Chain A
Amino acid sequence: MATPTLIRAALPSEAELQVFASAVAQLLIERLARVQGARAVRRRAGIGTQYFDQRDYAPGDEVRHIDWRQTARLRRPIVRRFEAESVSDWTLLLDCSSSMAAHGGAKWQAAVRMGAALSYALLQLGHRVGLLAFGTRVLAQCPRGRGPHHYAAIAAMLASLQPAHAGERSELGVCAQHLHGAASVFTLSDFLADQEMCRDLSALRQRCTALHVMQLSDGAEIRLQEAGEVDLLDVETGARMPMQADAAANRLASLERAAMTARLRRFCASSGLAFTDWDIAQPWQQGLLQHLVRARSQC
């Protein structure tokens, strides 16, 4: 193994980000409830400051929203409704474990590029975006924010993050206590912890409005470059295992990885989570676009 070096992920260029943001803008707007024969409009009632319409008071409505003038005129309690704002909160969970740095850090670089692009696109649409980098614990956190300046903060944080080359495990569950308020969560990880990841995803699901699962797969992690007698070293746990490296071993590893992905996919489907297995050999734009389309169709 080569001497560990810093893995610096190159962020997408401004032009790439803008093109991608415009392409996925429609996919990132809050979906409206559509009824048969109705025209899809983008305005709806909700929590906001812009007056939308008024209706009869119902128990549980905010008393401060009662329109006293209309109540006096119509002789029944009328409350004002305000136009719901079309923006929401997003939190990106970025796996910063040692497995992301393995094999030259290709997965880490891909995750950083995808996270930056998603943040840029969301911020362009006015959403508030936050970032959590996790390993065994939360390694870095960027609070939710809005606007182009916030992208600069997220980009700076992404550029400064550096996964440990060994000993840093993935503990997705540690992010749950850092999630506050209604937010959509987008998780970028290789999900190599299998059962533990499913448990943690279940915990996260309770703390967010929507949970996106983006699994990063790298062909190098199931293909050994050496042949013959080797000792395999798990970069996260440090465990060793002797084995005979050959094509058959690579094939078995590929099958094992596919099985893990299938289990995770089934779990996400059963839990209503948007899941995508992204082979990082493909462009990040393609992977993210497919995921958002799939998520739009599921929700």
Chain B
Amino acid sequence: MLISLLAPLFLLGLALLPLLRWLHRSGRHRRTLAVSHLGLWRGAAASHATAGERRPPDPAWRRRALLAALLCVALAEPQLTAPRTLLTLWVDDSISMLTREAQGNRLVEGLTQARAQLAELGPATEVEVRTLSEPWINQGTLTAASAARLAASAARQAPPEPPAPPTPPLALLHRDRLHWVLTDGADAALLAWPEGRRPDRIIQVGSVNRNVGLERLSARRNLQDPGSFDLLLKLTNGGSAAETRVLVVATDAGEVARSTQRLDPGAALLVHALMPAAAHVRATLQPGDALPEDDTIDLDLAPLRRHRVATDSGCPRALLAALATHPALALAAENASDVEAQLDCGSRRATQGLATLRVLADRLPQRLPGALQWSPALAEARHKSFDIARPQVVARLQARPADAVLLAIGGAPVIISRAGGSPLIETSLDFAAAARDPAIPLLVNLLFERLLGKRLLDETALTDRGANASRVVPAARPSADVGGVASAPLPSPARLEHELARPLLVIALLVLLWEIAALGRQWVRMRDQPTRGTFG
């Protein structure tokens, strides 16, 4: 414990304390006693005077000197500093930390070790815990309850999506703190801290070295059969021994594929599979191992389903054909209810609230002079650089102020995105005249992507755990760092500073109240005493 002063010059005020005593040299304010005759006491007063007794200063000077001294010291802003160690424990909460070990999983085992090592540092250590998946959230100190909470949280969030950044952010690597890392060492990138920083201590846990996991599962529509999905699975042997697993792919309808795969240590294997369209698929490795969390991988196939479009019998055949061949769109009856968009060619009553492509045709085909002018909002169209050859229009469109003209020919709008509550695109193009134009399917795709607000071609469903998700053996790194304090010098201990000025001011306030009370008592005494003004 050290006391430091921020403004020591104020201590010079203490030199005035003798002056304060000198000012009280005339003695205390005496109590007055009324007597019948002063002559009776002259002898007593004379005896004290002749004895050479010096009157002591008014004892009140001590109280006032204390008040002045307290104020001087408080103005000097003293601070009580105590050495304190600040420490951040970075917890690797990747999926590999859930590997079963002899005493629970690696995370539980590591947190237990960390608590034991932190206890050796003593109570002057202030610990904060952060996880690598959520480094900006301070998990608080490391207690039994917080350790259990961390382990449960890691189990819930496995597998992480997307994969967490492997290293702590530089902004949190304060140089006045010790930084410890709790990890199993499976991801070497975890120790590659920015600006060459290194952890002060690495608490490494884990002894299991065999694991095969499903790293990634992706699906896309089969190009030949829109009713089927192509699956691509990536298996990784994250252990140190060759492994053989049976890969089972199943949907809600049942198993769709099964194969036996053999993987060398550290090797990855891509497995293709074809499955009928479904809403969900799950791949499983059999038999299970110490890390069951990566033995199963699920994939939601909802993004791959086809969007149903209600047709209109009055629409041009070229338009209907383009819709029918679109891999992400499916034609539905005019009166179907489970549709996401509709065609309105004037022969049916359009449903309100649905995304609608309205094809207008109220005049004879007419070829407009001028070049095609694509809206900047359709940058995709310019990139694709598809142009409709010799386009004709069969209606006249008028753009309102809030509308967006997607395509114009010679200044006349041809495709307009109407402003309003539900998406509505109106076009005056003559699809019948452009039936053989290869750009029509792409134009239809472009219009429905805008109507539905999403990309319709090349959609892929993916679950990816990252390249090191299944790795359970430690990666190679300098042996000096393993299980011990890093060679880098420890940061100087931080100091816990307590402001002493405030308690001093509180004490000064109490002394001031004491002084006020004493003066009040004195005033009351003097008020009760007779004064010369009342005589005679």
**Chain A interface (Cβ < 8 Å from any Cβ of B):** 1-4, 99, 102-103, 136, 164-168, 190, 192-194, 218, 221-222, 224-226, 228-245, 248-250, 252-253, 255-257, 260
Contact = CB atoms under 8 A, between A and B. Distances in A.
A230 B44 contact: no
Nearest to B55: A229
B116 interface: no
A223 B288 CA distance: 107
Contact of B27 (A165, A229, A252): A229
B383 interface: no
B37 A192 contact: yes
Interface in B34-64: 34-45, 47-48, 53, 55
Interface string B355-397: 0000000000000000000000000000000000000000000
A239 B39 CA distance: 10
A143 B55 CA distance: 54
Interface of B: 27-28, 30-45, 47-48, 53, 55, 528-530, 532, 534-536
Nearest to A240: B32
B534 to A, nearest CB: 6
B41 A253 contact: yes
Contacts of B530: 1, 4, 165-166, 233, 235
Contacts of B53: 244
B39 A252 contact: no
Which 5 A-B pairs give the minimum distances between C-beta atoms? Answer: A167-B535, A249-B44, A192-B37, A167-B536, A234-B38
A229 B36 contact: no
A224 B172 CA distance: 78
B31 A232 contact: no
A250 B44 CA distance: 8
B36 A99 contact: yes
B30 A231 contact: yes
Contact of A102 (B34, B41, B45, B47): B34
Contacts of B39: 192, 194, 256, 260
Contact of A192 (B36, B45, B535): B36
A233 B27 contact: no
A226 B35 contact: no
A226 B44 CA distance: 14
Contact of A231 (B32, B37, B43): B32
A232 B48 contact: no
A238 to B, nearest CB: 5
B48 A1 contact: no
Contacts of A228: 31
Contacts of A233: 32-35, 38, 529-530
Contacts of A136: 536
B43 A230 contact: no
B34 A241 contact: no
Contacts of B36: 99, 102-103, 190, 192, 218, 221, 234-236
30 contacts: A1-B33, A2-B528, A99-B36, A165-B534, A166-B34, A166-B530, A167-B534, A167-B535, A167-B536, A168-B536, A192-B36, A194-B39, A228-B31, A229-B55, A231-B31, A232-B33, A232-B34, A232-B41, A233-B38, A234-B37, A235-B530, A236-B36, A236-B37, A238-B535, A242-B30, A243-B48, A244-B53, A252-B44, A253-B43, A257-B40
